[in-house]
């Protein structure tokens, strides 16, 4: 097994040397280099062939400076030590649930209604965290949770609807996107009235 590793190391070194060889190198030089590797000993002390190899690539292979080996690479003052760094965790704002509304089906409305007047007189913004509900007072904040993926979003009621049978709440496109229901168009969600 060690012989195979030594042979692999030789072939890898040959490939690297051929890669860094100047473009003007003749095919005779390339063939000579390949021949040196084919006849190079797998282990043992340096020979004339290995010395010739070292001389030929002396400008490419620079020996390690012994003065640099023991240098303590101190971190600059503004660097972060990754061995002791702990990324801050995202803290969700605490909301207190005032009333559980149970579950229902949420859908969304977006581009087609963007900029139109809502039932409370605002312009509908599909990028805002708003929603339409049939009976909840305007300004009510509702926590909408998608139980399939655990995502939740708080929306403010500013419109009436949805007017499709079986639907409970119509979300803005942005709120639906955060809940992950854009592709399906609707989903069963949990609804809670929260304080804001």
In contact, 172 and 125? CB cutoff 8 Å: yes
Radius of gyration of the CA atoms of the chain, in A: 35
Residue 168 covered by a domain: yes
53 and 123 belong to one structural domain: no
Phi/psi of residue 46, nearest 5 degrees: -65, 140
14 and 101 belong to one structural domain: no
Residue 172 covered by a domain: yes
**The domain that contains 121 carries what CATH number?**
2.40.40.10
In contact, 6 and 43? CB cutoff 8 Å: yes
186 and 118 belong to one structural domain: yes
Report whether pLDDT(97) > 90.
no
104 and 44 belong to one structural domain: no
**DSSP string across 72-87:** --PPPTT---TTT--P
162 and 103 belong to one structural domain: yes
Report whether pLDDT(1) > 60.
no
Cα angle at 111 between 144 and 134, to 5 degrees?
45
Residue 75 covered by a domain: no
Using one digit for the tens of pLDDT, what is the confidence trace for 148-187? 999 999 999 999 999 899 999 999 999 999 999 999 999 9
119 and 179 belong to one structural domain: yes
> How far is it, in rounded angstroms, from Cα 120 to Cα 139?
9
Q: How far is CA 41 from CA 9, 19, 37, 126, in A?
A: 12, 22, 8, 73
Residue 90 covered by a domain: no
Mean pLDDT of 47-69: 61
109 and 56 belong to one structural domain: no
| Domain stops at, among 47, 64, 81 | 64
Residue 86 covered by a domain: no
Mean pLDDT of 74-96: 68
Using one digit for the tens of pLDDT, what is the confidence trace for 107-123? 999 888 999 999 999 99
105 and 190 belong to one structural domain: yes
120 and 43 belong to one structural domain: no
Burial class (CB in 10 A: 0-12, 13-18, 19+), 95: middle
Residue 78 covered by a domain: no
34 and 107 belong to one structural domain: no
Report whether pLDDT(65) > 80.
no
58 and 129 belong to one structural domain: no
What's the chain's average pLDDT?
A: 77
Residue 12 covered by a domain: yes
109 and 172 belong to one structural domain: yes
> How far is it, in rounded angstroms, from Cα 167 to Cα 179?
16
Residue 118 covered by a domain: yes
Domain count, the chain: 2
127 is in which domain, residue-wise?
A: 97-194
């Amino acid at each position: 097994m060690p012989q195979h590793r030594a042979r692999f190391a030789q072939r890898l070194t040959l490939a690297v040397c051929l890669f860094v060889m100047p473009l003007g190198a003749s095919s005779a030089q390339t063939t000579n280099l390949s021949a040196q590797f084919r006849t190079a000993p797998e282990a043992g002390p340096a020979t004339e062939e290995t010395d010739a190899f070292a001389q030929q690539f002396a400008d490419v292979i620079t020996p390690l400076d012994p003065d640099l080996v023991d240098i303590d690479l101190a971190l600059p003052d503004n660097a972060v030590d990754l061995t002791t760094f702990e990324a801050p965790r995202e803290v969700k704002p605490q909301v207190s649930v005032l009333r559980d509304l149970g579950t229902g089906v949420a859908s969304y409305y977006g581009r087609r209604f963007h900029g139109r007047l809502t039932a409370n007189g605002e312009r509908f913004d599909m990028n805002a965290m708003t929603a339409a509900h049939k009976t909840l007072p305007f300004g009510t904040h509702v926590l909408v949770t998608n139980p399939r993926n655990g995502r939740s979003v708080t929306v403010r009621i500013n419109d009436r609807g949805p007017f499709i049978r079986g639907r409970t709440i119509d979300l803005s496109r942005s709120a639906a996107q955060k809940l992950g229901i854009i592709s399906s168009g609707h989903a069963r969600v949990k609804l809670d009235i929260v304080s804001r």
